[in-house]
Amino acid sequence: MAVVVTELVWVQLFALIVLLDFSFFDIADMINYVILNPFYSGEEGSSSGIDIYSRELRQTILSKSGINVASLNFNFTEKRRDLRGYVSRSLAEFSKKNTIVEAPDARAFGGLIPAGYFTHIRLHCPLFLAQKYDRANPSKLLKFREVRQIRKADLLSSPSGLMCSELSRELRGKEVSIYPNPIFNYIEQPPVVEIERDIDILFLGRYQYLKGIDVFLKVVGQFGGELKVAVAGDDRPVSSYALNSVDNHGFVGPSEKMALLHRTKCVLIPSRFESFSMVAYEAISCGAKVITWPNTGFSEWADNEIVYRGLDDEKKTKEIILNALQSSPDSAKFHEKVDSVNGAFWLGIEYVQKKFNEWLSV
């Protein structure tokens, strides 16, 4: 049986959405939304997409009344038995009849949730899939555990249709709600003084095969010394295929990251697989254009004005980059794009609550 996609939302449908009615939250029967964040890295930023997503999710839901949000932050490297005890003790503070628990798909963390809670598994990218695209040898036991927890969930959601297609065999017969990740920080905080955009092209993320750092360097190598190119997000050195120099900013914290994005004209997302890309979302919220590769879920939001689709063909991608650099969309277009994505996110949360109510009535 094919995957049933219930909430496939495209930017064309929501381009004009700025405000939504959130009356579906009944304050008298306040819902608890508990987020399991097993990749928590402290208060000074993170290189983990799930950690960043979990923080953004909490802040975004907190921005609306009628729902109580809690985050269970922990380090996945601790002993599984200790983690299970921590999650169990923490969730004991929340009634099962009005609590939704969201956990990531990676490392089968849904298995930490005690029986009786409504379990929502978010399909970011299970570890076995990341290993496959990072040229690692996927663990069959890990895949079994991850898929088992995915299929046991009361609700599955994904930030892109790409993820559902990639996991079509594992998700066979399961219903998946598709809605984008949220972003809370940075949108309402533009720089007081417009910063000069002196970086033409930026790569932001871990310097690894999965993220396509080698693809990025080959593509920008075509420009010689014409453009100012920078990479950031990892303390490792980069061996460049490029003829021109590449500024390596290393690992950057939240404020440094935002400063770089405000200086950048175009961010490239050449990942070999990525279900969404918080970097792309942060980039457009800072007024930087984005070029995503075909196997990146954020390409589903392409409009060839703010978000462009790159290609596996390096020469054609060079032309796309030049077109993006030459275009000058009004700053309001960036805000409209962010509003449309966030609007679609809230429709997804409404659907989560609907499925939760259906679960309660059974």
Distance between CA 147 and CA 43 in Å, rounded?
A: 31
Q: What is the CATH number of the domain that holds 83?
A: 3.40.50.2000
Tell me the HSE value of 77 on the side-chain side, using a 13 A CA sphere: 2
Q: Do the domain assignments include residue 63?
A: yes
Residue numbers of the domain that contains 233: 199-337
User: How far apart are alpha carbons 164 and 145 in whole angstroms?
Assistant: 18
213 & 307 share domain: yes
- Record the pTM: 0.85
Q: Are residues 177 and 288 in the same domain?
A: no
89 located within any domain? yes
Q: Work out the burial of residue 50: count CB atoms within 10 Å of its CB; fewer than 13 is exposed, 13-18 middle, 19 or more buried.
A: buried
Per-residue pLDDT of the chain (362 residues; tens, 9 = 90+): 333 333 333 322 232 222 233 333 333 468 899 999 999 887 666 668 888 899 889 988 888 767 899 999 998 888 999 999 999 999 999 999 999 999 999 899 999 999 999 999 999 999 999 999 998 888 899 999 999 999 999 999 999 999 999 999 999 999 999 999 997 655 445 554 567 899 999 999 999 999 999 999 999 988 877 899 999 999 888 865 555 578 999 999 888 998 999 999 999 999 999 999 989 989 999 999 999 999 999 999 999 999 999 988 888 999 999 999 999 888 888 888 988 999 999 999 999 999 999 999 98
Give the total number of structural domains in the chain: 2
Structural element, H or E, at residue 129 = helix 127-133
Per the listing, tokens 């030459």 go with 326
Beta strand 229-232 with 67-73 is unpaired
Q: Are residues 314 and 277 in the same domain?
A: yes
351 is a domain residue: yes
Domain contains 190: no
Residues 95 and 45 in one domain: yes
* Exposed / middle / buried, residue 126 (Cβ in 10 Å: 0-12, 13-18, 19+): buried
Residue 272 DSSP symbol: S
Do 60 and 181 reside in the same domain of the chain? yes
Residue 192 included in any domain: no
